[in-house]
Amino acid sequence: MSNPSQLQPVLDRIDADFDNSLARLFTLLRIKSISADPAFAEDCRKAADHLARDIATLGFEASVRPTAGHPAIVAKSSAKGNGAPRPHVLFYGHYDVQPVDPLNLWHRPPFEPIVTDHADGRKIIVARGAEDDKGQLMTFVEACRAWKSVTGSLPLDLTILIEGEEEIGSKNFVPFLEANKQELKADFALVCDTGMWDPNTPAITTSLRGLVYEEVKIKAANRDLHSGVFGGGAQNPIRVLTRILGGIFDDNGHITIPGFYDGVKDLPPDILAQWKKLNLTADTFLKPIGLSIPAGEKDRLLIEQISSRPTCDVNGIVGGYTGEGSKTVIPAEASAKVSFRLVEGQDPVKIRNAFRAYVTARLPGDCKAEFLDHSNAPAIALDWNMKPLAAAKRALTDEWGKEALLIGSGASIPIVADFKKTLGLDTVLIGFGLDDDNIHSPNEKYDLKSFHKGIRSWARILAALAEAPR
């Protein structure tokens, strides 16, 4: 267990050493660890080696581990305190980053990090990976560094697990988890890959929507046809596809696929009341992106539409001639990519099958459908009464001076489901990103305040988790 009197010297150390923390982050940000492009495989290896060496200086037994793709890092704290049983926590992050294209939209080279001023005066760190996930990952590492520097040990037992393929679906990471189940045993997991409610309000993500991503291709004639010769007589796959997709939604924004809402529950009344007080409006959420009218279920709050309700979106449609000028064809086929964001209670396989049955039942004669399953992952929801959740909430509230919110995320983080399925671990998701961080886009940034107070927050959380009842 930690000594509460040790916390303040640890926080003071973080403040005194912050310039060095920033320099260490910059060293990591300069490494071009783009996992999607084979040309950067050596850079991914370099990032893994760098992190393992750095974490080893904190007294961890750290090693770079091979996978079928980019390597992973496993680091285990070796000190066991005074021998009393302590919580054992698994912390997860990723060192790989998104490609930087289009490069011409960056204001400066993406792997030359800099602290600069945001338009509203905030100090920001700009670089690829500044937020997702190198900046977030290093908030935790730096908090551990401060604890070790001041007290010589960590307040709890810790395994740090860092992968290099999160941005490309972690396809080689799940087999790695399976192969190392015994070594990765812990009481629960921590993930720093989420965000705050606003620049001054911390948050813990208590639910993640699942994902079903389907591709459907409608085929009709055996070749593209001249619309002057065959128009009116031959079936047009684009017309068939768009009619079917358009029918998925009714006028009130509800999804019409039979069985789609089976198992979907409403929020607990106290959580819904808390969300209502946040007063998320179309003016604050949609106006900055040039929109004004919520497009989801009309009988739901906007915050429910984006956080706790299941959705369907058509992500792309291809068919016929799309080049310059005109070409009057009736295409032989048309395809669409469709994603469903799922909530607790929905089975990804059932949703996939229901979508395919919905499409197939609406096909006219002379048409057939082919389907391709790109990915699926279940939704994740924490127990609202989970003890580590309460401890982390208190620690964040103490650091930021505002009550930490328990919020749902509309996004999907498949690794959280993998931790539950493979390792049996619940995951507490805490991050310090903001909606305007431009992750996956040019000019990615991380607020300097998020980085600094993120380190302080993790220092407090480690102490709180060490003291929390088990």
Residue 343 region, left (φ>0) first, then alpha (ψ -120 to 50), else beta? beta
Indicate the pairing of strand 157-163 with strand 88-94.
parallel
Best CA proximity match to 442, nearest among 179, 126, 170, 133: 126
| Cα–Cα distance, 170 to 418 (Å, whole number) | 10
pLDDT recorded at residue 259: 97
pLDDT recorded at residue 415: 86
Quickly tell me which residue has 């992968």 as its tokens: 163
| Cα–Cα distance, 421 to 332 (Å, whole number) | 42
Residue 412, both tokens? 């999907």
pLDDT recorded at residue 208: 86
Quickly list H helices, 197-311.
227-230, 237-246, 269-278, 282-285, 302-307
Q: Where are the beta strands (DSSP E) in 127-261?
A: 157-163, 188-191, 203-208, 210-219, 225-226
List the chain residues with pLDDT less than 70.
1-4, 79-83, 470
| Cα–Cα distance, 458 to 464 (Å, whole number) | 10
| Contacts of residue 188, Cβ cutoff 8 Å, sequence gap at least 6 | 89, 90, 386, 388, 425, 426, 427, 428
What's the distance, Cα to Cα, between the start and end of the chain in Å?
A: 12
User: Hey, what domains does the chain have and what are their CATH numbers?
Assistant: 4-208+379-467 (3.40.630.10), 210-264+310-376 (3.30.70.360)
Residue 80 CB neighbour total at 10 angstroms: 12
SS3 label, residue 459: helix
CA atoms lying within 13 Å on the CB side of residue 34:
15
pTM: 0.83
pLDDT recorded at residue 121: 92
| Cα–Cα distance, 55 to 170 (Å, whole number) | 22
Q: What are phi and psi of 126, to 5 degrees?
A: -115, 125
- Whether cis (ω within 30° of 0) applies to the bond prior to 102 is yes
| Contacts of residue 391, Cβ cutoff 8 Å, sequence gap at least 6 | 461, 464, 465, 467, 468
pLDDT recorded at residue 376: 83
Q: Taking a C-beta distance cutoff of 8 angstroms, is the pair 402, 200 a contact? A: yes
Residue 202, both tokens? 């911390």
| Cα–Cα distance, 342 to 348 (Å, whole number) | 8
| Cα–Cα distance, 18 to 181 (Å, whole number) | 36
| Cα–Cα distance, 32 to 167 (Å, whole number) | 14
Q: Taking a C-beta distance cutoff of 8 angstroms, is the pair 50, 146 a contact? A: no
| Cα–Cα distance, 132 to 176 (Å, whole number) | 22
| Cα–Cα distance, 86 to 468 (Å, whole number) | 10
